[in-house]
């Protein structure tokens, strides 16, 4: 009877160890979204951002972070020199996250070259383990995002407030 209890305790401890090991396996998630950089002192521009979140206990190393543009002939990646965020390769510890951004003007210029109006974008991150993590697709519309923030309007198109008259 004592031997049977010892075997059951050993199996139970093995199950607990296996569950703990599964929690340490790196399983990062990637989210892609747009933000505006309109804070005080910031360059006023729209950005496409990706945040990688490591929801496990183990660390994961991000080697590259690129943004794939779908809807054009071939595979196009943006985010080389204009990408901002932590220096790559970057180690994301367990239960932490990191964010990289790229200006929407990079995507807009690529679409203008191909004469396209819309495209889909997703983040593609290469990990130190050799695995790629890809985010969901984000719809990019040239009319909505290409202007950045401070697009110069023609003088006649600016809305002017009515002048107050002195009576």
Q: Which residue has the higher pLDDT, 57 or 3?
A: 3
Contact yes or no for 35/44 (Cβ under 8 A): no
Residue 61 has pLDDT above 60, yes or no: yes
48, 27, 160, 161: which is closest to 95 by C-alpha? Answer: 27
pTM over 0.75: no
**Stretch among 3-7, 44-48, 111-115 having the lowest mean pLDDT:** 44-48
**Which of 2-6, 44-48, 73-77 reaches the highest mean pLDDT?**
2-6
pLDDT value of residue 24: 57
**3 state DSSP class of 130:** coil
Task: Return all residues near 135 (Cβ < 8 A) that are at least 6 apart.
Answer: 30, 31, 32, 50, 122, 123, 124
Task: Return all residues near 31 (Cβ < 8 A) that are at least 6 apart.
Answer: 50, 51, 53, 135, 136
Determine the Cα–Cα distance for residues 65 and 71; give it in Å rounded to an integer. 20
User: What is the pLDDT confidence band of residue 146, given thresholds at 50, 70 and 90?
Assistant: low
pLDDT value of residue 37: 67
Determine the Cα–Cα distance for residues 70 and 62; give it in Å rounded to an integer. 22
User: What is the pLDDT confidence band of residue 133, given thresholds at 50, 70 and 90?
Assistant: confident
Contact yes or no for 119/111 (Cβ under 8 A): yes
Tell me the domains of the chain and their CATH numbers: 25-144 (2.60.40.10)
Contact yes or no for 32/79 (Cβ under 8 A): no
pLDDT value of residue 98: 93
Determine the Cα–Cα distance for residues 86 and 134; give it in Å rounded to an integer. 18
70, 62, 58: which is closest to 25 by C-alpha? Answer: 58
**Residue 108 is encoded by which pair of tokens?**
């807009």
Give per-residue pLDDT as tens, 70-123: 878 777 888 777 888 999 999 999 889 999 988 888 888 888 888 888 888 888
Residue 15 has pLDDT above 70, yes or no: yes
Mean pLDDT for the chain overall: 78
């Amino acid at each position: 009877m004592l031997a049977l209890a010892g075997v059951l305790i050993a199996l139970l401890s093995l199950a607990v160890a296996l569950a703990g090991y599964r929690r340490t396996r790196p399983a990062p998630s990637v989210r892609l979204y747009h933000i505006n950089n309109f804070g005080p002192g910031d360059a006023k521009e729209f950005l496409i951002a990706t945040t990688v979140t490591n929801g496990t206990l183990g660390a994961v190393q991000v080697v590259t972070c690129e943004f794939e543009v779908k809807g054009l002939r071939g595979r196009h990646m943006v985010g080389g020199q204009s990408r901002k965020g932590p220096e790559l390769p970057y180690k994301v510890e367990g239960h932490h996250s990191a964010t990289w951004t790229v200006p929407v003007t990079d995507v807009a210029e690529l679409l203008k070259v191909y004469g396209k109006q819309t495209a889909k974008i997703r983040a593609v991150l290469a990990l130190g383990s050799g695995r790629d993590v890809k985010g969901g697709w984000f719809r990019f519309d040239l009319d909505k995002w290409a202007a950045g923030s401070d697009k110069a309007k023609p003088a006649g198109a600016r809305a002017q407030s009515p002048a107050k008259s002195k009576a």
